[in-house]
Chain A
């Protein structure tokens, strides 16, 4: 799962000519540390949904990698698909 998330984050970072990441640090802020704007976050949410079947912003807007991972881990649909 983590590799796929890194790939998705890097595809957005590359489209903005920004340095890619090699691992997921929980404290990292999507907005402040990775420099994602609202359209980047929208792109992130559709790519995550396409991959894992989860709309990460359906309940609220999240910002930290830790929040992203929590949503993915807690989602039963994801757990079912990852078996």
Chain B
């Protein structure tokens, strides 16, 4: 059974990715999130042999080394990592608060980089041709008012992923991004319905991005079916124009 790490499993998209990765790849999923939510409880009950949860706040990225050595390394060889956790700081840059900005960069950028470090070290140690997937955002490609700071973290991940793909391709390690458009998730719940309609009307399909469609793209990139794909970003956004 292939071990797959997934961050941010406590809510909509992360939980859906975990379920699809288990079903598509018969993977053993280690879900990392701050809280043991109802979604996590549901996954643990539904897939007792394929899922375990680690409670960890990803802003505490300096402790990822301990998590790796004391927990992850003892569970099994890491075959895939899905960086899904994110903190959304929605405000105009003229209101930028350094503390909030730093917190967002810890969760959205520093923690994925450090977790990638330990995952790649584990893959090297065990000669695993692993797969790394970063969930980014359409805001890194198209402009949205209030998302400049959040978009900057997702743009950083896309640049990081492309270069990780180049660095580790010779070892068979792949790195890709799935870039979703606006989904109906808890993260976007504070956006007004008027604003949502405006956003959805910017898409070719005139609707919200389907969470299942995003999750299945992520599951595909961690499966053997995608073994010739690396350094890419799959945009799953209903065609933002």
Partners in one complex: yes
A residues at B contact (CB < 8 Å): 39, 42-43, 45-47, 49-50
- The answer for the CA separation of A37 and B122 in the assembled complex, in Å, is 19
| B141 is an interface residue with CB less than 8 A from chain A | no
* Chain B residue with Cβ nearest A43: B124
| B206 is an interface residue with CB less than 8 A from chain A | no
Q: Lowest 7 CB-CB distances: which A-B pairs, in order? A: A46-B125, A46-B121, A46-B124, A43-B124, A50-B125, A39-B170, A42-B124
Mask for B10-39, Cβ within 8 A of A = 1, else 0?
A: 000000000000000000000000000000
- The answer for the CA separation of A50 and B170 in the assembled complex, in Å, is 22
For chain B, what secondary structure do more than half of its interface residues adopt (helix, strand, loop), or is it mixed? helix
* Chain A residue with Cβ nearest B123: A46
B121 to A49, Cβ gap below 8 A?
yes
B residues at A contact (CB < 8 Å): 121-122, 124-125, 168, 170-171
* Chain A residue with Cβ nearest B122: A46
- The answer for the CA separation of A15 and B35 in the assembled complex, in Å, is 44
* Chain A residue with Cβ nearest B168: A39
* Chain B residue with Cβ nearest A38: B167
A1 → chain B, closest Cβ, in Å?
Answer: 19
* Chain A residue with Cβ nearest B124: A46
* Chain B residue with Cβ nearest A50: B125
B125 to A47, Cβ gap below 8 A?
yes
CB contacts (< 8 Å) of B121 on chain A: these are 42, 45-46, 49
CB contacts (< 8 Å) of A46 on chain B: these are 121-122, 124-125
- The answer for the CA separation of A46 and B122 in the assembled complex, in Å, is 8
CB contacts (< 8 Å) of A50 on chain B: these are 125
A39-B168, A43-B124, A47-B125 are known; give 10 further A-B pairs, CB within 8 A.
A39-B170, A39-B171, A42-B121, A42-B124, A45-B121, A46-B121, A46-B124, A46-B125, A49-B121, A50-B125
A4 → chain B, closest Cβ, in Å?
Answer: 15
CB contacts (< 8 Å) of A45 on chain B: these are 121
* Chain A residue with Cβ nearest B65: A55
B120 → chain A, closest Cβ, in Å?
Answer: 8
CB contacts (< 8 Å) of A43 on chain B: these are 124
- The answer for the CA separation of A49 and B125 in the assembled complex, in Å, is 10
- The answer for the CA separation of A39 and B168 in the assembled complex, in Å, is 8
7 residue pairs of the A-B complex, CB under 8 angstroms, read: A39-B168, A39-B170, A39-B171, A42-B124, A43-B124, A45-B121, A46-B122
